[in-house]
A and B are shown apart, each in its own frame.
Chain A
């Protein structure tokens, strides 16, 4: 059978379309496992995985931990708050100390872009990037594309718009790479202050009017406004953002076609999405969360076979 072309999952940029298809096919099998009465397989029973989180996370961390436990791996959790990181220990020292306890894989989230890439040059264990600053969040992009594939049959040829804070979003960047590798057309939409200056170089369309973007697309992936990452004002007020870029049920119903609505969570209800839109039949937000566990199981399983 095919194997992944990489030993670490650092970003979607580093993997091939074949890798993504292999992950999807494996995730199909794991999704089947997750729907059984006993949702557990013993594949990784001799493997220890450390979840190393230098930045806050609920969903991703729970999803990874569940995926690891469903695969019967031993799991240890590390979060930087309340640890020796506060005493000035370096990233490499922290991770080497964890690895000295015979850990086989590291799932890491860090606020610095490139932190997992740096680590991969210095340690032997397989690394899965669970988000590095504003750079990449590969498993989120994989589960987004997997959910589109599940809902619409295929990703190739579909028109996908990513709406919101593209500038600060690792989800946006990973999604652009994944969607393009799978043959989808990608558009980004948001206030001009939240679009990176050279985003067109990635081969995506740019649209400033959210209504036009929705009329163009088959799938809208709406991003969260990341208030915590904004040191300066990128738009005058949340109310104004909602007025120009918020999506509600009325707007979705007034389109002449059915579109699929996605959101990586957590939703700011009433800001980028109204409650009636988030809970409408257009939305596959909870399917995304469900698929996240299967996708992460597939990634961990395939990487573990490449020790």
Chain B
């Protein structure tokens, strides 16, 4: 397995800061806006965006986590079933501006499932999509992000891995992982 660093922790910090300023440009004081991170890996991105916005603006933007397992279109078509995660949205999204947040945009299928799942919590005024990494030329559905950290060209056999600093990793990093052919 080969790993190539595509975004290091300094660049990632600048990227998150830029995305937050782009959000502020469109959402002002966030009085009608909410952030929804897609489980499992959009959750940490959403937390980071929320805390960065709080540092800049001094206000806490309501943030929730949405699990899309039961709305996926590949149920009974996969080898192994997907484990469900918790959904935690303790606000109504009726007439709100929703910012969906995920780490990597690939085929667009999970975003479709997320939009489907999100409607269970009300009718939003509008919905935007924020991703750290957009994998170009790989879409199965007409889904495009509103805010992008970085666009990358990648092969189908490759995988983009976003690592956050934690007990197991020292720094925030984004990697492009290539599996060795067997």
Residues of A participating in the B interface, judged by any CB pair closer than 8 Å: 1-3, 25-26, 28-29, 32-33, 36-38, 40-44, 46-47, 71, 301-302, 304-305, 307
- A37 contacts B121, C-beta separation under 8 Å: yes
Q: Which of B15-23, B29-37, B83-91, B146-154 contacts A (4 or more CB under 8 A)?
A: B83-91
Determine the distance from Cα of A174 to Cα of B93 in the docked complex, in whole angstroms.
Answer: 43
B128: chain A residues within 8 A (beta carbon): none
Sample (21) of A-B pairs whose CB atoms are under 8 Å apart? A1-B81, A1-B82, A1-B83, A3-B80, A25-B84, A28-B86, A29-B70, A29-B84, A29-B86, A32-B86, A32-B87, A33-B120, A36-B121, A37-B121, A38-B119, A38-B120, A41-B71, A43-B75, A44-B75, A71-B70, A302-B81
Q: Given A29-B86, A37-B122, are A305 and B70 also a contact pair (CB < 8 Å)?
A: no
- Give A31 Cβ to nearest chain B Cβ, in Å: 11
Closest 9 CB pairs of A and B: A1-B83, A41-B70, A38-B120, A305-B81, A29-B84, A43-B70, A36-B120, A1-B81, A43-B75
Q: Which residues of B contact A43 (CB under 8 A)?
A: 70-71, 75
Contact B76 A307 (CB under 8 A): yes
Interface residue? B134 (CB, 8 A): no
The total number of A-B Cβ pairs within 8 Å is: 52
Which residue from chain A places its CB closest to the CB of B116 in the assembled complex?
A42
Is B67 engaged at the interface, CB distance under 8 Å to the other chain? yes
Question: Which chain A residues lie closer than 8 Å to B67 at the CB level?
Answer: 29
**B residues less than 8 Å from A44 (CB atoms):** 75
Main secondary structure of the interface of A (DSSP, over half): loop
> Considering only CB atoms, which chain A residue lies closest to B94 in the complex?
A37
Task: Name, among B67, B76, B80, B119, the residue most crowded by chain A CB atoms within 10 Å (CB to CB).
Answer: B76
The reply to whether B120 and A42 form a contact with Cβ atoms under 8 Å apart is: no
Q: Which of chain A's residues have a CB closer than 8 A to the CB of B69?
A: 29
Contact: B87 with A3, CB < 8 Å?
A: no
- Interchain CA distance A28-B88 in the complex, whole Å: 13
* A196 CB → nearest B CB, Å: 38
Quick one: closest B residue to A71, CB to CB?
Answer: B70
CB of A37 within 8 A of CB of B84, answer no
Do A26 and B84 touch across chains, with their CB atoms under 8 A apart?
Answer: yes
Chain B hits for A28, CB < 8 A:
86
Q: Please, how many angstroms separate the alpha-carbon atoms of A281 and B80 in the complex?
A: 43
- CB-based nearest B residue for A302: B81
A46 to B86, CA, bound (A): 24
> Other CB < 8 Å A-B pairs besides A32-B86, A307-B76, 10 of them?
A1-B80, A1-B82, A2-B83, A29-B69, A37-B122, A41-B70, A41-B71, A43-B71, A71-B70, A302-B81
Q: How far is the CB of B38 from chain A (nearest CB, A)?
A: 15
Across the interface, do B121 and A42 meet the contact criterion of CB distance under 8 Å?
A: no
Q: Is the CB of B71 within 8 A of A42?
A: yes
User: Which B residues are CB-close (under 8 A) to A307?
Assistant: 76
Distance, CA A46 to CA B156, complexed state (A): 29
Chain B residues closer than 8 Å to A3, beta-carbon distance = 80-81
Distance between Cα atoms of A32 and B39 in the complex (Å) = 15
Partner of B76, one of A2, A38, A304: A304
A2 to chain B: closest residue by CB: B83
Nearest A residue to B88 by beta-carbon distance? A32
Q: In B69-115, which residues have CB < 8 Å from any A CB?
A: 69-71, 75-76, 80-87
Query: Which residues of B sit under 8 angstroms from A37, Cβ to Cβ?
Result: 120-122
Question: Whole-angstrom distance between the alpha carbons of A193 and B75 in the complex?
Answer: 49
Tell me the complex Cα distance, A33–B70, Å.
10
- Determine the distance from Cα of A44 to Cα of B67 in the docked complex, in whole angstroms: 17
The complex places the Cα of A159 from the Cα of B41 at a distance, in Å, of 40
In the complex where A1-B80, A29-B84, A32-B87 touch, is A305 in contact with B120 (Cβ < 8 A)? no
Q: Which residue of B lies closest to A46 (CB)?
A: B76
